[in-house]
A and B are shown apart, each in its own frame.
Chain A
Amino acid sequence: AQTVTQSQPEMSVQEAETVTLSCTYDTSESDYYLFWYKQPPSRQMILVIRQEAYKQQNATENRFSVNFQKAAKSFSLKISDSQLGDAAMYFCAPLGGSNYKLTFGKGTLLTVNP
């Protein structure tokens, strides 16, 4: 079974600065995928970024990038040049296992201060 830990229930960042959200997970699988989803106050779950565990290169999507440390089972999300619209709850979610389950962490609430 997979477990996910997001150790920062809340984070804040100044507009235009950089923030890193932490995520660690536990899995016995060698082949899996990792996702970050964003949930703004509108409640919509929005895909931010995806990482394949077999790839050594860290995924990037515009201002969003990850630091994937497979041996440490760590998958952090870096948001550069933070914008007010980045304010949301962020969920880390590994996908894998025999039942291909997407397991969500409890989330980190990000506040962006103007």
Chain B
Amino acid sequence: NAGVTQTPKFQVLKTGQSMTLQCAQDMNHNSMYWYRQDPGMGLRLIYYSASEGTTDKGEVPNGYNVSRLNKREFSLRLESAAPSQTSVYFCASSEHRGSSTDTQYFGPGTRLTVL
């Protein structure tokens, strides 16, 4: 099992460009998450999907959109990238959000730079 995979690993954008970060998990998890990590900080939740067909805002959702494509895949879109969105982005998944099986497993991260 690959666990949680993310593409791309690195990306450089110019201000105003758009892009989509892809995430997939093969653990048959119901819940998926997108986080960002800024220097000297822990992770902050951008959006999550508790189950297929649902998405909700996290702590820092502004400037982002998400799509839960199916049970395996959860994408994060930046419509008009800004330098403040320069960060490392992590996708995570857990069996069931809000339950005793809500242990989150993380992907390898995407380092995004917006010039």
In the complex, chain B residues whose CB is within 8 Å of the CB of A91: 42-43
On whether the beta carbons of A44 and B109 are closer than 8 Å, the reply is yes
Measured CA separation A42–B9 after assembly (Å): 12
Q: A43-B109, A45-B90 are in contact. Are A93 and B103 (CB under 8 A)?
A: no
Considering the complex, which residues of chain A in the window 16-36 have a beta carbon less than 8 Å from any beta carbon of chain B? 33, 35
On whether the beta carbons of A102 and B104 are closer than 8 Å, the reply is yes
Interface of B is mostly: loop
Q: A43-B88, A44-B106, A44-B109 are in contact. Are A102 and B45 (CB under 8 A)?
A: yes
Q: Does A77 contact B (CB under 8 A)?
A: no
Q: A100-B97, A106-B40, A106-B42 are in contact. Are A47 and B103 (CB under 8 A)?
A: yes
In the complex, chain A residues whose CB is within 8 Å of the CB of B45: 101-102
Q: Does B98 contact A (CB under 8 A)?
A: yes
Measured CA separation A106–B43 after assembly (Å): 8
Residues of A that sit less than 8 Å from B by CB: 4, 33, 35, 37, 42-47, 50, 52, 91, 93, 95, 100-107
Q: A95-B102, A103-B42 are in contact. List 6 more A-B contacts (CB 8 A).
A: A33-B100, A42-B108, A43-B109, A43-B111, A44-B106, A45-B90
